[in-house]
C-alpha cells in the first residue's frame, strides 16, 4: 500500500496567517461562489473536455472557508472533470488549497487570476473587487452613485451604466472631478436614458468637459441638448468623425456643435468646438 502524501510537507506560507498546499479534494465537496463568479459557460466546458490532457491540466485553486471548499480559479475545469466522470458520484480532484483566506481576499484572488482560462468579464471582476473592498473600486462605485446613476455590477436597472469598463477607464483617465461632473450632466440632461449611458456618450461628455469645463454654460447645455436623442448624437458623430479623432472626441465635437447652434450668450470657441481631438 502506498503511503498517503503528507501535504504539510509542501505547505507554502503566503503570510503569517495564510498558507497554500496541494490537496486532493472529493469533487462533491467543491463549490462555486456565484455571488462574485461568472456563470459556467457550457461551450467553454465542452472545449476543455474536447482538448483535455491529464498531463497539463492545472490544479484547481480553492479557498477552504467556513468548512467548505470554494473554487475561485478553475470552475470550468471542475465542470469538465465532472462531465468526464459523470458515472461516479464523487472522485478526487487535485487542488491548491488556500487556508485562512478571508472572503475579501478570496474575491481579490479571483479578480486577479490569470492563465489558460476564460477571461473574467469586467462585471465579475468589479463585483469581486467590490466584495474585496478594493479602495479604487469602492471610490468609483460611490462617485457614480453620488450622481444619481449606478454601475450595472449586480443588476441592470434604469439609470445603470452597462459600460462598466469604460466608466472605470474614464475615472482613471480624467479623475473623479470630471468623471462625476460628466455623469451628473448626463443624468440631468437625459434622465438616465440608456442611450445616454453608452461608452461613447460617457466618453464624449468627459472630453467636452475636459475641453470646455471652465467656460461652458450649464444651463445652455441642458437647454440645447435635452431634446436631442443621444443615439442620434452618436450617429452624427460617427458620420462626421475624422481619422484623427477617437469616437469620444467625435461625440464631444457633435455635442459642442449642438451646444453652439443658434449663437447667443454662452457660446464656446467655435473653432475649438468644430474639431476636438482627444489626447
The pLDDT of residue 116 is 47
The pLDDT mean for the chain works out to 89
Closest CA to 90 of 98, 77, 78, 99: 78
What percentage of the chain carries pLDDT values higher than 90?
A: 65
Q: Using pLDDT thresholds of 50, 70 and 90, give the confidence band for residue 237.
A: very high
Residue 211 has pLDDT above 90, yes or no: yes
pLDDT digit string, tens, across residues 89-129? 999 999 999 999 999 999 888 887 754 455 667 888 898 89
What pLDDT score was predicted for residue 193?
Answer: 94
Q: Is the pLDDT at 271 greater than 60, yes or no?
A: yes
Phi, psi of 19 (to 5 degrees): -135, 160
Name residue 24's beta-bridge partners: 94
pLDDT at 155 over 80: no
Rounded Cα–Cα distance for residues 249 and 238 (Å): 10
CA dihedral 206, 208, 209, 211 (to 10 degrees): 120
Residue predicted with more confidence, 232 or 276: 232
The reported pLDDT for the residue numbered 171 is 96
Predicted confidence at residue 9, as pLDDT, reads 66
* Tens digit of each residue's pLDDT (9 = 90 or more) over 1-21: 334 455 566 888 888 899 999
pLDDT at 194 over 60: yes
What pLDDT score does 119 carry? 62
What residues contact 131, with CB distance under 8 A and at least 6 apart? 35, 36, 103, 104, 107
- More confident call, 49 vs 231: 231
The residues, any chain, with a CB within 8 Å of residue 220's CB and separated by 6 or more, are 259, 265, 266
CA dihedral 68, 74, 75, 79 (to 10 degrees): -110
Residue 61 has pLDDT above 70, yes or no: yes
In 191-246, where does DSSP find H-type helix?
Answer: 199-212, 218-225, 230-240
pLDDT the model gives residue 47? 81
Query: 207-234 in b/e burial notation, b at 16+ Cβ within 10 A?
Result: bbbbbbeeebeeebbeebbeebebeebb
Q: What is the mean pLDDT of residues 187-192?
A: 96
Amino acid at each position: 500500500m502506498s503511503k498517503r502524501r503528507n501535504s504539510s510537507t509542501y505547505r507554502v506560507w503566503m503570510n503569517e496567517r495564510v498558507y497554500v498546499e496541494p490537496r486532493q479534494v472529493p469533487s462533491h465537496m467543491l463549490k462555486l461562489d456565484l455571488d462574485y463568479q461568472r456563470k459556467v459557460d457550457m461551450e467553454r466546458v465542452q472545449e476543455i473536455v474536447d482538448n483535455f490532457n491529464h498531463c497539463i491540466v492545472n490544479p484547481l485553486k480553492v479557498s477552504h472557508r467556513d468548512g467548505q471548499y470554494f473554487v475561485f480559479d478553475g470552475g470550468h475545469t471542475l465542470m469538465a472533470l465532472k462531465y468526464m466522470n459523470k458515472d461516479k458520484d464523487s472522485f478526487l480532484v487535485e487542488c491548491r488549497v488556500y487556508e485562512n483566506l478571508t472572503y475579501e481576499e478570496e474575491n481579490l484572488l479571483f479578480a486577479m487570476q490569470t492563465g489558460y482560462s476564460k477571461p473574467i468579464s469586467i462585471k465579475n471582476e468589479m463585483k469581486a473587487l467590490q466584495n474585496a473592498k478594493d479602495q479604487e473600486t469602492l471610490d468609483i462605485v460611490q462617485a457614480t452613485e453620488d450622481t444619481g446613476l449606478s454601475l450595472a455590477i449586480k443588476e441592470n436597472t434604469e439609470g445603470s451604466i452597462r459600460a462598466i469598463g469604460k466608466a472605470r477607464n474614464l475615472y482613471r483617465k480624467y479623475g473623479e472631478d470630471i468623471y462625476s461632473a460628466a455623469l451628473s450632466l448626463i443624468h440631468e440632461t437625459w434622465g438616465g436614458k440608456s442611450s445616454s449611458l453608452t461608452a461613447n456618450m460617457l466618453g464624449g461628455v468627459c472630453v467636452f468637459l475636459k475641453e470646455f469645463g471652465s467656460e461652458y454654460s450649464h444651463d445652455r447645455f441642458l437647454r440645447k441638448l435635452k431634446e436631442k436623442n443621444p443615439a442620434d448624437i452618436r450617429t452624427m458623430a460617427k458620420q462626421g468623425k475624422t481619422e484623427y479623432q477617437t469616437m469620444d472626441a467625435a461625440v464631444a465635437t457633435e455635442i459642442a456643435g449642438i451646444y453652439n447652434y443658434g449663437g447667443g450668450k454662452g457660446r464656446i470657441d467655435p473653432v475649438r468646438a468644430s474639431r476636438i481631438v482627444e489626447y
